[in-house]
Amino acid sequence: MIKRAAFVLFLAGIVVAFEGCQSAKGGSSISLGRADDPVSLVVLSARDVRSPSYGTTFLDNPFIAATGTLLPSYNDYIVLQLNFNNPKSVPIVILRADVEDDRGKVLASYMTKEKFTDFAMTQSPDQANNTLKRNRIDWYYLPNPIMTVDAGKHSYLLVLVGPHPIPDTATIHVAIAVENVATAFDEPVPVEN
């Protein structure tokens, strides 16, 4: 009976470890900029990244870093949502997207859609899950760092990837040019709750 209880607790610990991983830090998403600005940014919380749209575990959600009891966490992800609101098609350029410590050392950086897709495919050997991850990246990830965004409201994700752990004292830096007008966002890395 004791062996059975210990085994059940062990399995429960594995499930909690896999489900409790922090892919984006913080308990609440942080909005930077106003909804009616040409571009605004949201630093997504782990709760918002873990959704039916994106998937609920790292096995089916490319925006959650692989981690758990059996897998050490090698990387941290900070997931950003870029929101564009423009009355006409506009050219955009991602000028900068990274995380720096207080000495200016880059701790995490933006991967293009192609690089992030290749990277995400190495996180799981399961082909069915990789197909689902690839589709989710195609649907939600920023297509290119230099592109034209159609008129209207559009949202894209991009992920800052860096070695675990990214300290809470670091700062997220994002600079985006919309029609040659640069907008910069600087935000401390949210503290995990």
Answer whether residue 60 is part of any domain. Answer: yes
Mean pLDDT of 82-87: 96
Residue 48 token pair: 């918002």
DSSP 191: P
Number of domains in the chain: 1
Which DSSP category does 136 fall into?
H
pLDDT for position 22? 36
Average pLDDT over every residue of 164-173:
94
At 13, which amino acid appears? G
> For residue 27, is it within any domain?
yes
Residue 193 covered by a domain:
no
| Residue 123 in this model has a pLDDT that exceeds 50 | yes
Instruction: Judge whether 179 lies within some domain.
Output: yes
- pLDDT mean over 156-180: 95
Give the relative orientation of helices 113-121 and 127-140 as an angle to the nearest 10 degrees. Answer: 160
Task: For residue 166, give its domain range.
Answer: 2-188
Mean pLDDT of 116-141: 91
More confident residue, 110 or 69: 110
Q: Is residue 1's pLDDT more than 70?
A: no
Q: Where are the alpha helices (DSSP H) in the chain?
A: 2-19, 46-49, 113-121, 127-140
Arithmetic mean of pLDDT over the chain: 84
Tell which wins on pLDDT, 25 or 189: 189
**E strand residue ranges, 69-136:** 75-86, 90-100, 106-110
Q: Could you tell me which residues come within 8 angstroms of residue 119 by beta carbon, excluding any fewer than 6 positions away?
A: 111, 161
Answer yes or no: is 180 within a domain: yes
Residue 130: both structure tokens together: 């990789």
Mean pLDDT, range 136-161, rounded to an integer: 97
Kindly report, residue by residue over 7-27, the tens digit of the pLDDT.
Answer: 333 333 333 333 333 334 446
Tokens of 180: 């040659």
Q: What is the pLDDT of residue 127?
A: 84
Can you give the pLDDT at residue 53?
93
Each residue's pLDDT tens digit, 35-60: 789 999 999 999 999 999 999 988 89
| pLDDT of residue 174 exceeding 50 | yes
Rounded-to-integer distance, Cα 158 and Cα 127, Å: 23
Backbone angles phi, psi at 49, to 5 degrees: -70, -35
Which of 38, 52, 54, 60 minimizes the C-alpha distance to 181?
38
Instruction: Classify residue 180 as left (phi > 0), alpha (psi -120 to 50) or beta.
Output: left
- The contacts of residue 180 (CB under 8 Å, 6+ apart) are 91
Out of 41-50, 63-72, 122-131, give the one with best mean pLDDT.
41-50
Arithmetic mean of pLDDT, 146-158: 97
122: confidence class by pLDDT, cuts 50, 70, 90: confident
